[in-house]
Structure 1
Amino acid sequence: MPPRLHLLTLAALTTTALAQDANLLAGPSVGEKTTHTLVSTDMSGEFQRLDARPEEAALRLLDLDHHERERAMEIINERRLRLAMMLIDEVETVRRIEDLRKNDKGADARRLLRELWERFDRTERRDPLYAPIAENLPTLQQRRLRELIDEYWEAWVLWADRGRGEKAGRGKQGDRVRDRLAFQLFEREVNRAYERSLRHYREALEDINEAVDPTRAQRENIREHVIAHLRDTRLEATPEQRREAMLEIYRMLDDTRQEKLFVHMLKQAAPD
């Protein structure tokens, strides 16, 4: 097939190759307003952790108008996007964390992730969303938001530290428990941000490398190009931008590997 026709056909096939999930910023589902507390236990009395950040879950229990609720969700989505962009900017660190986890070096992986946490949430690590959300709420709802979050954290810490009996949640040990739980929340946020943003691109890149077998220099150029694409489009690339990104990868390759990429894209569009 002539190179020009290759390019035209490849452009037509690229729509899904680097496509983002339409639900990129969709967070974990949180139940409708059915209670007046975030604290709950199961049938055996086990504390039930929320599937979302306490700040977000608490919004469902507040009496907010449309504008107030919409602004709060904008703030939550801004944090999700910042997390995704942090992972892109720190892609080498993310790769190291993945490698450490695969090699059963969880403590080292958590150390690197904690360093990211300390840079990302520099001032408030337990409730990073409280202040930006609260400043857009009426005083009564600010107070209610604070009460809901504090009540949840108190119950969670007491449960996590229950082995110390009456001393649970107190002193330096209680502070360490709070820090550990706050870090767990951040770790879960990062894992979800990774699943929503980088995982698809990493898998697409691995598929291309396996199909094309690029040289070391080509592989590095492709990787840098994809990272630049992610940064420039902020995970909201248009179909035209995705096509151009794939065409640029095509142009980086020699004739033999261009042919392999073309065949790979055909298989993506029409699997066996």
Structure 2
Amino acid sequence: MNILVLGDIVGRVGRKGVKEVIPKILEKYSVDFIIANGENAAGGNGITPEIAKELFAMGINVLTMGNHTWDKKELFAIINDETRIIRPANYPPGTPGQGYGIFKVKGKSIAVVNLMGRVFMSDLDCPFRKMDELLSELHKADYIVVDFHAEATSEKVALGWYLDGKVSLVFGTHTHVPTADERILPGGTAYITDIGMSGPINSVIGVKTNLVLQKFLTQMPQRFESASGPYIVSGIVVKLGQRGMAEDIIRIQYIERE
């Protein structure tokens, strides 16, 4: 079974890129299931029900989230009922929504888990210990896929090793810059520190360059806005084997020509 995972979709440009690129990926690879991180899909911050519907119509099966989950209040109207939107599981008990979902694909079950890091991020529950709890609930799933939305590469790498042999795939999101360390760990878990973003390439991780430069140069508050222009779409294609582990991981990238 092959799954496609697309990096953080940033704003209108990212949505346009994903819509145009998904058919090209499906033509090149035999893909059975599509996951995308959607926490930046609405103007670079959060997601709305309308935009989620738009992304699902493109063929995306599951949307994972992150630190911008709650930026659009409209999401609260659907977050408890829309099981295809997965927010970080290590939010405290009582938080709306679900931290994982189990989906049937070609007679197999895929569990998709979203976790958020704590280094340079919000002080949530421990993602390592939370995943230990979830593994006891997900042991019947044929495959377990984890989106670790985290800032520090060390924390991401550590979770990859911690879950090696226990889950099928651990991929990192949040930093919007793809890393070149995709591999199959010794226990059979596919791993990559960050899969990059799907958004405007002429930007600073999706934001208008001039606004970010002003922030760095002056240290004054800036209202960030998503950039325009051509897109970059980044992600991975992962081949899952018969015994719940991964057999291959391929890093992919598509750039719109100006």
Q: TM-score w.r.t. structure 1 length?
A: 0.25
Q: Which has the higher helix share?
A: 1
Structure showing greater radius of gyration is: 1
TM-score (norm 2): 0.26
Q: Determine which structure has the larger strand proportion and give its number.
A: 2
